[in-house]
Every structure is written in structure tokens, then in C-alpha cells.
Structure 1
């Protein structure tokens, strides 16, 4: 029966991270009715802000109420009909997630894989598209399980050449790495707030091209504002999910305001503030801040005598993987960082479980003091665990990055 009281953690893992204070303030705002003009004005405002965040002119840019996984499911379940072919390049845990969701939609799922720590060359993906001839290419832009960043710039042109829809999950990368939806000809993008956007998990911004909207609209049925639950579209079965039915959600966010759900107002306020934070600071400035923090953390890790994981040419700016030294108990290091210094870093999944730490520098925590405090604390914990390392050089290396000397 006591009030919530949590320890003052510094969340330096792969997400979630500490929220921007202005986001928390926005989320304490009192509610109004879901059709109050003040509320619908903020819905429209949020749509306009996220068009700028996504760098798109897409009219259909809004929020899915739920975590980033809800956005993924809405995009895939609304697009894919049973038997549709989907191609999923997998380079980490979240590629497997896309495949699972597509399988649950009874799509015909085709995957290609590279070892964890690598990404795909565009030619590999085009070759697979020619072979599979899918309806949809679904790829993760940044996969925090491996810290890798898949280049997307050429994939949109490839997909248009082969009449393939192009979807990406950019939850882990947006805000800390470039994402130019229109320029790169991406048809659908879903993200979450809990990484570089600096908010809590629970809302999934989404943007849809006219091409994508046309496909999912063919599965929608409206007669006098009432959907015919028994009718099937000319192209196949109706969308199996009510909650994740994108045409219904588009009608809710559109001028019709057709009732679908009650908008999660508190999450909308937080989502809006995440966008305001990014855009008021400036996208280029935010990208630079994440790049500096990521570079400083990487140089500090290397100066400590630790080995980064994966192909560093394709590392996300906002998270670094670190091989756990053979003579070090990785979980004890994480335990001591958490309980002695109130700092959380991450472990990993699948083939990397117990072999790699992951340290994030995202959103509100992509700042110099958080980087330096984490490096100094990690050095102390490692030294106390018996790991031999050059004292003080990690922080010095990071400070050189911030000074523009490395």
C-alpha cells in the first residue's frame, strides 16, 4: 500500500533507458475526452510531428497503442494474407521476431541469414528477392541483440524495381541513426519510444506509404460506417486482428474519427513530447550527440582492454557490444554495477547469451556525464574482479572524443 519508490538507476543497457524529464512531465497531464477538440488537435499535432521525425510526407503517420511489438504486428498482420510470400533477412534476434509474427499470419516466410555481428550487402537481398518474388521485404534497421545497423538506402529502389513492398522496424535505431523514409522509398516503418527517442515503452509510431495503404485498404470493408465482419475482400481474407487492423485505426485517426479504441492519452502526450524534444534540439544535433556518445563509449571500452563485438563499420551509434573476458564473471559484473553504482548494462540473447555485454548511449543518456560515469564504474568493478586494465585510460579516451581529438 506504499507509493511506488524505485532506485535511481542509470539505464545504460540496450533499452529501455531513462526518459527525458519533459516527457515524464507531459505524461502527468490530466485527461480530456477522446473526442474533445483539444484531444483531437493533439492527435493531429502528433501526426504532423512524427512526419518530421520519420522524414516523410506520408499522410498515414500516427500511433499504435502498445509497445514497439504492437506496431510490428499491426504492419505485418494488416498487410500479409495467408499464403503471401515475405522475405526476412535475419542478422539478430529481432529478425526472428519478424519471421514469427509473419508465420502467425500464415504467410509463406522465406529467410536469409548472416552470422550475428554482420549485416547484409544489398546484392544479397536483391538476389533473394529475385528468387523468392515476395509480396513484402521485412527487415530490421538496427538490431540491439547484435548492435548491428543494416544499411537501407538501396533497398527501396530494389523493392520498387521488383514490385515488392518494403517494411522496416527501426525501433532501436530511430533518433540516433539516420532514417529517411521518403528518400529511401520505405513503404512502412514502425518504431518504439524506449530507445533514442527517450520515452517509455508503450506507444508505437508508424508511417505508411500510399502504396502500403492501398494494399491494406483492399482488406477493409465499410458500409455506412459499420464493418461487415462476415465479408471477405476480393484479394483474400479480412484482417484477422481487430486491435491491429490498420484501416480501422486509420479511420480512427482520420477526419472520420470512427470509433475503434480509446486512445491511450497519456502515451500520446509522452509520444508527442519525444518528438518535440528531438525536433526542438534538431535532428542533426541529436544524431551528432548520439554519434559522439557512442564513439566515446567505444573508445573508452577499447582503452580499457576490452574487445568490441561485431563489424564496427556497421555498428549502431547508440549501442556497443563487448566480448566478456574469459576470466570474468559477466553476470557478477552486471550485478555489481547495478547494486553498487545503480548502473544497468545489458547481456545478450541466443548465441551471444553470456558472451557479450551491451552498453547503450541513447536519448537522455547520450550525454558526456553518463558515458564517463559508466566507464569509470565499469573500470572499478572489473578491477575489483581481478581484471587487469590500465587505470583511468577509459575515461581519458572518452574525454578525447568529446574534445574532438579522436
Structure 2
């Protein structure tokens, strides 16, 4: 078996300055937007999310922040740290938010400046109702901020149609790209909001500084020392996505989710998120059986060559995640996830039907 030569990672050529603007425009097409700007954050998406929160919040502003995982909770913490008054609307552990709960929170407040939410959760498999949340934000003339890090490539994100003001993406999930560079789409309304606030530059968390040093200078060379490897990898990932077609990438994730959920049900296991339209296309979560330790379950499945993921946050130890993200959104990966999970449950004495699960997966893929 050949081994990757790590020396291939050394001494990469610089990413050409004249390619950054076209790269940003390619990302705009993923967002289905002609009305926003895209800026790059030269770090993983968690820093881009912190930069957004830090750039839009100040004392006197009011935010309604949806929490469906630790990521949402962190975003609320960053908003509060910057001085905003934050009202958290939390879902049941590991579940998507109910739009009615957000509406009720908004109704209690005389004024709201910001509404923020994660779109699709890779940590638990929840899918939040993007359209309904966008409509609620717009009804209060609030900025609508979306963490689309996991959802891009797995779900359509219509930035302009939903009047999204800020969205953050990373390429490492549905796009199967690098984790070390991220992008933020910003509407004109969001820029006006940011420009009206006191700036805190120089700072790697300042979107205003990114705007001045890149957008306002004609989108030429990025400030700082851009990581060449990450930008070449992002370029290559977009090449692959565009060759397949973003609609087909999304369809492939949806098919993988349908097959995973059908396979679990045929196995005799109800997915953690019961409603199909409330489940992410990136991962499918399954409950850990009573009396079973999640780590032991994951370790036994790993012996079969399959990597299940643990739960994250409140649902740690309660679920395992079947990963069908990026290149794992395929028949082979889905079938391996479902059958390995079923085989281990069967070995431990659970009443499951692995054969029925295989047939259910094959049926979704018409095989």
C-alpha cells in the first residue's frame, strides 16, 4: 500500500493575487447571491463566526440567538462579550428549534437588532428552519446571521431570496475541502450596520478591517500572509464541486440522508431526530441503546473499519452520528455505516435486522 509523501506539502507556490476575487465570486454562486460581498477569513470557520459576532455586537444592541448545539451557545457568548443584550432561544437537547419558540421570544421584546442561528448541525444532525427564521428576522427588521459552515453543499442556501445578511461557510464539510480557510458573505445592510459601530482594528476579528484592506482596495492581494496550501485546496475543492454541480452535490447528500434514515428504521432503530424534514443531510444521529457506553460502541464499530462519530455537547454519550458528509455522501459509505452499526448491536444482543437495513439502503439507491 502506497503512503502519501508529506514532502509534497512543502514549498507550495504562492496563491496568485489575481485569483482571490474570482475565488470569492465562485463562493458567491454557492450562496446564490449577487447582492453580497464575500470576504475570506484566514482560519477555520470558528474564528470567522467569532469575528462576525464581535463585529456586529455593541452595548445597546439586542440579539435573539438560537441555540441548537454548543456552536450556537458560543455565538451568543461572543455577542454578549461585545456588549449586546442576548436572549437565547434553546431547543431540546440535540433537536432543531421550533420557529414558534423564536417568534414568542421576538414578541416579548420591543426591539431586536440581530437574529442568529445555525442552519444545519453536524454535531447532532438537526436542521433548523432557515426560511421561517429569515421571515421572523425580517418582520422585525433585524439582521439575520446564519452559521452555514456545515450546511453549504448539503442544503441549498439562497442568500438573496431569504434576505440573509451574514452567512459563514467552511469548506471542510459538504464541500469536502480544507478546514483552514473560511468565507463570510455580507449584505449591504450588514456592512452599513458594521460601519455605524465603533471599530476595534487592528484585529483579526474585525470584518470592517477586512473590508477596508481588501474590498475597498479593489479585491487585490489579501492582507497578511495568506496560507497558500489552504487556498489552493479551496480552489481545487470548488473545481470538484463545480464539475459535479452544486445541485447534484446537494442531491447526493439528501439521498445519503434518506438512505441512512431508511436503513436505521429497517434495522429497528428510530433516528434521534424523528421528522425527516428536520434532519440534516450531513449526518444522521442514532440513539445509543440503554446500558451501552457510546465510546465502547464506537470502538467496536471501528474494528469493522467504520468510523461513527460521538455526540457533541448536551447529547454526548446519548447518540452516535453516521457520517455522510462530503465524499462520504455515497452508497458505499452509507451502507458501511448502517451495517457496521447494526452488526455491533446484534453482537451485543439487540434485536435488529441487518438484512432489512441493507435492502432499505439499496432501495434508496435503486440498486
**TM-score (ref. length: structure 2):** 0.90
| Residue 246 of structure 1 pairs with residue 207 of structure 2 | yes
What's 1:383 paired with?
Answer: 346
Q: Is the 8 A contact 2:134 2:163 kept in 1?
A: yes
The equivalences for 1:209-248 within 5 A come to 209-219=187-197, 237-239=198-200, 242-248=203-209
1:291-327 residue CA offsets vs partner (Å, 9 max, x unmatched): 1111111111122222211242300122111111114
What's 1:320 paired with?
Answer: 284
**Compared CA separation, residues 43 and 258, structure 1 to 2 (3 A):** closer
Which of 114, 120, 125 lines up with 2:91 in the alignment? 114
What's 2:236 paired with?
Answer: 273
**Compared CA separation, residues 288 and 372, structure 1 to 2 (3 A):** same
| Residue 98 of structure 1 pairs with residue 62 of structure 2 | no
3-state SS in 2 of match to 1:386: coil
- Shifted more, 157-166 versus 207-216: the winner is 157-166
**Compared CA separation, residues 258 and 106, structure 1 to 2 (3 A):** farther
Which of 306, 320, 328 lines up with 2:269 in the alignment? 306
What's 1:373 paired with?
Answer: 336
Residue segments in structure 2 that go unaligned for 5+ positions in a row: none
| Residue 184 of structure 1 pairs with residue 162 of structure 2 | yes
What's 1:45 paired with?
Answer: 22
Q: Which whole-Å CA distance do the structure 2 matches of 1:49 and 1:182 have between them? A: 15
| Residue 85 of structure 1 pairs with residue 62 of structure 2 | yes
Q: Which whole-Å CA distance do the structure 1 matches of 2:260 and 2:226 have between them? A: 39
Q: Is the 8 A contact 1:328 1:387 kept in 2?
A: no
What's 1:162 paired with?
Answer: 140
3-state SS in 2 of match to 1:172: coil
Q: Is the 8 A contact 1:49 1:276 kept in 2?
A: no
Q: Is the 8 A contact 2:114 2:142 kept in 1?
A: yes
**Compared CA separation, residues 240 and 44, structure 1 to 2 (3 A):** closer
Q: Which whole-Å CA distance do the structure 2 matches of 1:373 and 1:259 have between them? A: 43
What's 1:70 paired with?
Answer: 47
**Compared CA separation, residues 242 and 200, structure 1 to 2 (3 A):** same
| Residue 31 of structure 1 pairs with residue 31 of structure 2 | no
Q: Which whole-Å CA distance do the structure 2 matches of 1:268 and 1:371 have between them? A: 30
Q: Which whole-Å CA distance do the structure 2 matches of 1:48 and 1:391 have between them? A: 46
Q: Which whole-Å CA distance do the structure 2 matches of 1:29 and 1:283 have between them? A: 32
Which of 331, 349, 355 lines up with 1:392 in the alignment? 355
1:124-145 residue CA offsets vs partner (Å, 9 max, x unmatched): 3234234332211111111233
Aligned length: 360
Q: Which whole-Å CA distance do the structure 2 matches of 1:267 and 1:258 have between them? A: 16
Residue segments in structure 1 that go unaligned for 5+ positions in a row: 7-24, 33-37, 220-236
What's 2:174 paired with?
Answer: 196
What's 1:336 paired with?
Answer: 300
- Higher RCO (Cα < 8 Å, 6 or more apart): 1
Q: CA RMSD in A?
A: 2.5
User: How far 1:55 sits from its partner (Å)?
Assistant: 0.8
**Compared CA separation, residues 392 and 157, structure 1 to 2 (3 A):** closer
User: How far 1:61 sits from its partner (Å)?
Assistant: 0.7
Q: Which whole-Å CA distance do the structure 1 matches of 2:322 and 2:71 have between them? A: 18
Q: Is the 8 A contact 1:165 1:187 kept in 2?
A: yes
**Compared CA separation, residues 386 and 241, structure 1 to 2 (3 A):** farther
What's 1:229 paired with?
Answer: none
What's 1:17 paired with?
Answer: none
Q: Which whole-Å CA distance do the structure 2 matches of 1:348 and 1:376 have between them? A: 20
